[in-house]
Amino acid sequence: MKLPLSVALCVLSLSACAQTAPPDAKAKAADQPTAAGETKTAAAGETKAPAAPVPNTPEGRARAALQGLDPTIQIDRMSAAPIPGFREAIVGGQVLYVSDDGKYLLQGSLFDMQQKRDLSQTGISVLRRDELAKIPQKDKIVFAPVGKAKHTVNVFTDIECGYCRKLHQDIAEYNRLGIAIEYLAFPRAGTASQDFRDMESVWCSADRRKALTDAKGGQTVAPKTCTNPVNMQYQIGQKIGLQGTPMVVTREGIALPGYLPPAAMLQTLDRLEEQAKGGGDAKAAGAP
């Protein structure tokens, strides 16, 4: 999801862009204060409550600065940034750094050269983990090995995506290596597309696993309707920064670099598991 245009244009200075044009003299004269401290617009006869005060805290100022650029901005997560004097905000799956005084904004990766890891992945990994936890297990299409799985990953998938189909062709090998694949829906063409309706039909099928396998094999999807989780999963995919399918995410919220063959995925998951055992923040450092 792209950031609002106002954010892109105002990337160098939030405070400058948050200023609004001065009201014209007539509009200003028409606004008359009342005894209750509210403002009554003479022309429309409307009474407006005073704006809520901005909390005088680093987070409050950072939030106010972002919303001053665009009141419709949805801030999914905000916390202290790894660098002093900044808040880390996640907006539409993108990581932003806003100065505690609300004046400056930085966008992009924050790389720790000593620890050799991308610090900007920590917060978004937490967001991914929290959002994925909202999805009931019954709403996934699961292909798991017999017995206990060594690793489990969530895969946002699309029936039309070439690499999604390639991953599914090797589903038996992923399972043989101990990797459970839990599919989530992300029809790339959007909610108004035939792709979206076909994926709803897959999720509404009596045998979802067979329906998904058939659809990924190029077979026509029989139309079906029901209450289904496709739209919810699609929205979560956008919220956590999905930019392409398949998006493979570990239970810790770490996104793998797109499609990986079975052996390469196992190697990557084993390495992440070792990193997690070795230190506190390593599990959220992101997969190389």
The residues annotated with a catalytic role in the active site are 158, 161, 164, 188
Residues 6+ apart with CB under 8 A from 99: 14, 62, 85, 86, 87, 105
DSSP string, 71-82: TT--EEEEEE-S
Neighbouring residues of 193: CB distance < 8 A, sequence distance ≥ 6: 187
- Pairing label, strands 179-185, 151-157: parallel
Neighbours of 79 (CB within 10 A): 14
Token look-up 């880390």 returns 88
- Please tell me what DSSP assigns to residue 255: B
Quickly list DSSP for 165-206.
HHHHHTHHHHHHTTEEEEEEE--TT-TTSHHHHHHHHHHTSS
As a whole number of angstroms, the distance between CA 203 and CA 200 comes to: 5
Please answer whether residues 92 and 239 qualify as being in contact, where contact means their C-beta atoms are separated by less than 8 angstroms.
yes
| C-alpha distances in Å from residue 149, one per residue of 182, 233, 248 | 12, 23, 16
